Amino acid sequence: MIQRLEPAPGVLYVVGTPIGHLGDLSPRAKSILMKVTAIACEDTRHSSKLLKSIGSNSPLFSFHKHNIQSRLPRILDHLEKGQSIALISDAGLPGISDPGELLVAASRKAGHEVICIPGPCAATTALVSSGLPCNTFCFEGFLPNSGNTRKQKIAEISKEPRTTIIYEAPHKLLKLLGDLEEACGADRPLQVARELTKIHEEQIGPTISSAIHHFQKKKPIGECTLILGGAPPPPPSNPPTEELIKELRTLIQTGLSASDATRQLAASSGQSKRMLYSLLHKEKLDKAN
Ligand code: SAM
């Protein structure tokens, strides 16, 4: 496959960097970080360690929520002049609970090309190793710290049928687990992925109560991502008894035995065979009395 020469002039590269293990920096990400005109990062001291480890001398400058107003026009100006800029965050994919979204939106709006160099992300890494359903899921990131907005968000999450991904700082983990237990019940499936890709990586579960039990005994430290199982489907609503009896009678009138009629109705209505059979039995007794 013929590949485009990278970095191309005037392009903003959104580069995924390791969430722990430095070996997870892809060769393509490394090459971009070596060759771009400049790199925008959250914290220059933090990111200079990564750049040093790969021998990159590309100039670094900070881009975070406190200097967006002053930095944005300057970055757009660099792109306009044909410079290539890489955007990285402290770890993982910029834009996922990290600054970057605004720069990407502004670059697109100004007509500049934005290319993502995919890389590690704590959310998807925790999800796929949790053993919980991951074909559909929702990402909540950090929940509101307190007040009604937090309560509402947790109530909403407790009813969500899809697997939910939540980020949390270690010193707030037990409080979050307690709030989730109250809203979702102690037995709701949950995995806490701790220190992913690092030497002390571990998964703690399989339920909210077992995670609480674990972290009450062992103080949470390091980085944690929670994977919460979806809310179980509501039990099938019971159609009125008379309606079920009527359907059973109709089936029996077509020539089915009582046992075949209950089996057929159980399959079509989701009701248990035993319950339908006892309905029939009770009806017979009522008639006899
Ligand atoms: N942009 C990052 C990403 O793509 O994953 C997420 C940045 S967010 C500011 C930081 C949060 O991500 C942490 O508080 C933690 O919840 C989660 N996280 C980051 N690294 C992790 C790791 N190695 N193991 C578990 N969770 C991690």
Beta carbon of 93 within 6 Å of any ligand 1 atom? yes
pLDDT digits (tens, 9 = 90+) for 46-99: 999 999 999 999 999 999 989 988 999 999 999 999 999 999 999 999 999 988
Q: Best mutation site among 14, 15, 17, 19 for ligand 1, i.e. most ligand atoms within 8 A of its Cβ?
A: 19
Beta carbon of 169 within 6 Å of any ligand 1 atom? yes
Identify the residue whose C-alpha is closest to ligand 1 atom 16: 167
CA of 281 to the centre of ligand 1 (A): 59
What is the pTM assigned to this prediction?
0.83
Beta carbon of 92 within 6 Å of any ligand 1 atom? yes
User: In 3-state terms, what secondary structure has residue 40?
Assistant: strand
| Neighbour count for residue 218 (Cβ, 10 Å) | 9
Counting from 1 in the atom list of ligand 1, the atom nearest the Cα of 16 is: 4
The overall average pLDDT reported for the chain is: 93
Beta carbon of 196 within 6 Å of any ligand 1 atom? yes
Q: Name the helix (H) or strand (E) containing 166.
A: strand 163-168
Are 124 and 93 in contact, with CB atoms under 8 Å apart? no
Rounded Cα gap, residues 194 and 211, in angstroms: 12
Are 221 and 170 in contact, with CB atoms under 8 Å apart? yes
Identify the residue whose C-alpha is closest to ligand 1 atom 20: 19
Beta carbon of 173 within 6 Å of any ligand 1 atom? no
Identify the residue whose C-alpha is closest to ligand 1 atom 11: 167
Identify the residue whose C-alpha is closest to ligand 1 atom 19: 122
pLDDT, average across residues 143-154: 96
Hey, where are the domains in the chain? 11-120, 123-228, 241-284
pLDDT digits (tens, 9 = 90+) for 110-141: 999 999 999 999 999 999 999 999 999 999 99
CA of 122 to the centre of ligand 1 (A): 5
| Topology of the domain comprising 123-228 | 3.30.950
Q: Does 3.40.1010.10 match the CATH number of domain 11-120?
A: yes
For residue 77 the two structure tokens come to 């100006």
CA of 224 to the centre of ligand 1 (A): 7
Least confident of 23-27, 184-188, 267-271: 267-271
Q: Name the helix (H) or strand (E) containing 95.
A: none
Rounded Cα gap, residues 258 and 198, in angstroms: 62
pLDDT digits (tens, 9 = 90+) for 96-115: 998 899 999 999 999 999 99
* Per-residue pLDDT at 282: 75
pLDDT digits (tens, 9 = 90+) for 223-242: 999 999 999 987 767 767 88
